[in-house]
Structures are given as C-alpha cells and as structure tokens.
Amino acid sequence: MWLDDRKAIFAKSEIGVISIGFDTVELMVTKPEGGKPVAVDALTGGDKFGARWLLERIDPNREFSFVSLEPRLRDGTLDVAPDVLSVWESEVLGFVERKWGNARKRFGAVIVVGGGAILLRAPLQRFFGDKAVIPSEDEATLSVARGLYKLLLNQNKAQPEKN
C-alpha cells in the first residue's frame, strides 16, 4: 500500500484518515511536525455510521443476526437494495463533509480503511478523486488492527521502564 511515489506526500502534507468499521466511522487528520505526524484535533471525530447502521436498515426486523449478515455483506452475497446503500453513502460522506468541510481539499491524501472502505470504494474515489488511497480488501480490514498494534508498540517505547 505504501508506494514509493507517495512517500513525499506523507512526509510533507496533511493526511486524512477515515476508518469505516462495524460500529463507527472515525476521522483523523495528521500534519507533519518535526518529522513526525501530529494529529489535528479540530478535524478528528467519529460517529455511529459504521456497517452496523447499514445492516440495521437491510434487516430492520432483525430476522438475522449481525454475525450471519456481516460475512455476506463483506463477500457481496447479501442482497443490498441500491437505495439503502446510497443512503449509507450519503450519511458517511455527509459526516465527512460536516467535519472536514473544505479543509479536505488541502490534504495530500485521504487513506480509507476498515471493511466499509471496500463497500464505499467507488463513492469515496469520486468524492476524493486521486487523493483517495483505498487498500485492497485484506489490507483495508487488517490495517486498523495493524495501526493499533504499532500505536501500542510506540506507546510502550515512550514509557520509562519500571524497575
């Protein structure tokens, strides 16, 4: 995913990150400061528009469990009415628009991760154009766990050792 031709963008530009998970959509923006990415707090936030929101509208009477619906949603075998998917798309992109507004135009890239990144790939690419960085399906779903693991490692390095 991290292509050599993008390294300069990540080192010199503000970068938007969107995580579209099962329960939530989270937004974060980083800017380079002192050679390291630093979060821009005013552009960070989250809301409950994850894939659960979509599944609740696909099966409003709860005839099936989320555990049975989620794999079918992920592999494309779940029948999703186009209008339901377009409403979810509007909710997610509306949240991004409200939180980031025109600031998103100055970002060097927008990285989109989580299972929802795959479901909303086309609308996200239209919305962000060539700034959208959406990994493959496997990378999109594992990148959240990989990022949390790296954060934990960095936090452990920053804490002084206890004797």
Task: Tell me if 127 is assigned to some domain.
Answer: yes
Task: Tell me if 133 is assigned to some domain.
Answer: yes
Kindly report the CATH number assigned to the domain that includes residue 23. 3.30.420.40
**Local confidence band at 114 (pLDDT 50, 70, 90 cut-offs):** confident
For position 45, what pLDDT does the model report?
93
Task: Tell me if 85 is assigned to some domain.
Answer: yes
**Structural domain total, the chain:** 1
SS3 28: strand
Q: By the 8 A CB rule, do 13 and 41 touch?
A: no
- For residue 9, the enclosing domain spans 4-158
Which residue did the predictor score with more confidence, 56 or 162? Answer: 56
For position 100, what pLDDT does the model report?
97
52-111 tens-digit pLDDT: 999 999 999 999 998 899 888 878 888 888 899 999 999 999 999 999 999 999 999 999
124-147 tens-digit pLDDT: 999 999 999 887 766 666 666 666
* Residue that has been written with the tokens 């990148």 in this structure: 143
Task: Tell me if 89 is assigned to some domain.
Answer: yes
**Local confidence band at 29 (pLDDT 50, 70, 90 cut-offs):** very high
Nearest Cα residue to 30 out of 19, 21, 20, 42: 42
99: Cα within 13 Å, side-chain hemisphere: 22
Q: 43 is written with which tokens?
A: 């552009």
Instruction: Enter the pTM of the model.
Output: 0.81
Task: Tell me if 61 is assigned to some domain.
Answer: yes
Least confidently predicted of 21-25, 35-39, 135-139: 135-139
Task: Tell me if 163 is assigned to some domain.
Answer: no
